[in-house]
């Protein structure tokens, strides 16, 4: 009897530990957020154990979360959905069913998941792509780029770039009934990183004649130089994306080397030669007053000379679009940058918006004060939030005007 009671108490305590996470006070529907956050944390601990025991890589276990969320590519009354390939990269293609009435808009979309997780076929992403396709009468190409591990930078970037370049060919656009003057790239989180990087790279590519009309960056990750920005400090333990997981994602993007992860965790991975790049991620310069709060400017945590030689991607603007010079930013298409208050990546987006604006690029920076990282994908099933629908509406309204 005593043993059973003890077991019961332990179980209750364990459950309580997982379910309970301190949530920001202004979150609506806190139970949904808490459950999703608890499930992710539990899976995170399981991943850590499996990884330590040498059974599976950490990210392979986390990918189970992706697997349970997958839905088949089925057409509905408004949108024809097919799984196909562009330039040998798998994509999910959404074509509006309604009579075109002229050429259509188009969006190339990159899902989030820290370059390690996620899939265009996850319920939230599939729902989002259908809505965009139907409401904007747009062709949506949602890309299933290769993930880490086993694939590291620049594979993810190269996959999404080759899909975008393939799609932007005039014969491919016309085959899909797309107006070449109304194509955008978009993505959330790591996908926002890829979208920003693709938009930059297209400007340097003499083979691409079509210019993007717009870019939509939803809580994007944009730099790996300073992982102690005020938002990283303020939101280190907020739901869905704690700092420790973001550090894992960044380090895994470049390598599975634990030395890199440890250096990034202590923010001492930046080589001395990064000197002049520091200006681009200096939050004392680029962050709006109300996001700086009472944080004190800290210098770069230098020490990663050897790491940077091994992983040159650390200083590559294709991995960290915020490291691009102003000359490179100047020719970029108009941007919607969406950031969330309770998010380690808040400052990445806010600083990019400020830098784009300084470079003369038209920018709409929508900062959601009551939102957390990942909110836009909470659109369907048990993980449905009014907040997700509201933020998607913000994106749709902006695209209605700007695409």
Ligand X SMILES: *[C@@H]1O[C@H](CO)[C@@H](O)[C@H](O)[C@H]1NC(C)=O
Question: Which parts of 123-182 interact with ligand X (CB under 6 A)?
Answer: 134
Distances, alpha carbon 92 to alpha carbons 121, 126, 154, 342, in Å:
8, 9, 22, 31
Active-site residue flag, 51: no
User: Which ranges of 213-304 does DSSP label H, i.e. alpha helix?
Assistant: 230-234, 243-254, 258-265, 283-286, 289-292
Q: How far is the CB of 70 from ligand X (least distance, A)?
A: 19
Distances, alpha carbon 323 to alpha carbons 21, 223, 280, 297, 320, in Å:
34, 7, 6, 19, 6
Q: Which is nearer to ligand X, 240 or 274 (CB)?
A: 274
Give the Cβ contact number of residue 275 at 10 Å.
Answer: 11
Question: Which parts of 251-280 interact with ligand X (CB under 6 A)?
Answer: 278
Extract the tokens encoding 222.
Answer: 């944009």
Question: Which parts of 13-72 interact with ligand X (CB under 6 A)?
Answer: none
Write each residue from 61 to 80 as x if it is in contact with ligand X (CB under 6 A), else as -, in one continuous string.
---------------xxx--
Q: Does 364 bind ligand X (CB under 6 A)?
A: no
What would you report as the CA-atom Rg of the chain, rounded to the nearest whole angstrom? 21
Active-site entry in 189, 231, 255, 320: 189
Active-site residue flag, 21: no
Residue 139 CB-density burial (10 A; 0-12 exposed, 13-18 middle, 19+ buried):
buried
Active-site entry in 159, 234, 343, 347: 343
Residue 179 to residue 191: CA distance in whole angstroms? 24
Judged by CB under 6 A, the number of residues near ligand X is 11
Q: Which is nearer to ligand X, 265 or 285 (CB)?
A: 285
Active-site residue flag, 343: yes
Question: Which parts of 200-219 interact with ligand X (CB under 6 A)?
Answer: none
Q: From the list 162, 282, 364, 394, which residue makes contact with ligand X (rule: CB under 6 A)? A: 282
Strand partners, 86: 89
Q: Which is nearer to ligand X, 253 or 283 (CB)?
A: 283
* Cβ partners under 8 Å of residue 316, min gap 6: 153, 154, 323
Question: Which parts of 290-319 interact with ligand X (CB under 6 A)?
Answer: 297, 299-300
Q: How far is the CB of 126 from ligand X (least distance, A)?
A: 11
Q: How far is the CB of 1 from ligand X (least distance, A)?
A: 55
Residue 301 to residue 267: CA distance in whole angstroms? 6
* Interacting residue ranges for ligand X, rule: CB under 6 A: 76-78, 134, 278, 282, 284-285, 297, 299-300
Residues noted as catalytic? 189, 343, 373
């Amino acid at each position: 009897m005593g043993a059973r009671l003890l077991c019961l108490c332990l179980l209750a305590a364990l459950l309580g530990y997982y379910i309970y996470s301190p949530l920001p006070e202004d979150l609506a529907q806190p139970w949904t957020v808490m459950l999703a956050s608890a499930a992710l944390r539990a899976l995170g601990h399981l991943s850590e154990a499996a990884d330590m025991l040498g059974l599976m890589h950490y990210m392979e276990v986390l990918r189970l979360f992706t697997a349970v969320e997958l839905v088949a590519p089925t057409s509905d009354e408004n949108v024809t959905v097919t799984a196909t390939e562009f330039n040998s990269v798998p994509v999910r293609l959404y074509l509006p069913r309604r009579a075109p009435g002229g050429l259509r808009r188009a969006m190339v979309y990159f899902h989030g998941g820290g370059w390690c997780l996620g899939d265009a076929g996850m319920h939230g992403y599939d729902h989002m792509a259908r809505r965009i396709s139907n409401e904007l009468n747009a062709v949506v190409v949602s890309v299933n780029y290769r993930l880490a591990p086993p694939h590291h930078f620049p594979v993810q970037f190269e996959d999404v770039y080759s899909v975008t370049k393939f799609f932007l060919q005039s014969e491919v656009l016309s085959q899909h009934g797309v107006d070449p003057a109304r194509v955008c790239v978009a993505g959330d989180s790591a996908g926002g990183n890829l979208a920003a990087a693709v938009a930059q790279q297209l400007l340097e590519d003499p083979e691409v004649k079509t210019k993007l009309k717009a870019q939509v960056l939803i809580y994007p990750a944009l730099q790996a130089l300073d992982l102690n920005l005020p938002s990283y400090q303020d939101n280190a333990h907020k739901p869905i994306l704690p700092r420790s997981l973001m550090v894992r994602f960044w380090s895994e993007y470049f390598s599975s080397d634990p030395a890199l992860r440890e250096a990034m965790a202590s923010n001492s991975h930046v080589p001395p030669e990064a000197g002049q790049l520091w200006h681009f991620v200096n939050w004392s310069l680029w962050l709006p007053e109300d996001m700086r709060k009472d944080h004190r400017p800290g210098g770069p945590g230098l020490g990663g000379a050897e790491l940077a030689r091994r992983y040159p991607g650390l200083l590559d603007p294709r991995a960290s679009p915020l490291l691009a010079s102003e000359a490179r930013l100047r020719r970029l298409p108009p941007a919607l940058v969406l950031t969330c208050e309770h998010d380690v990546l808040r400052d990445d987006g806010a600083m990019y918006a400020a830098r784009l604006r300084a470079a003369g690029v038209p920018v709409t920076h929508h900062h959601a004060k009551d939102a957390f990282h990942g909110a836009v994908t909470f659109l369907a099933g048990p993980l449905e939030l009014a907040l997700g629908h509201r933020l998607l509406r913000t994106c749709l309204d902006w695209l209605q005007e700007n695409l």
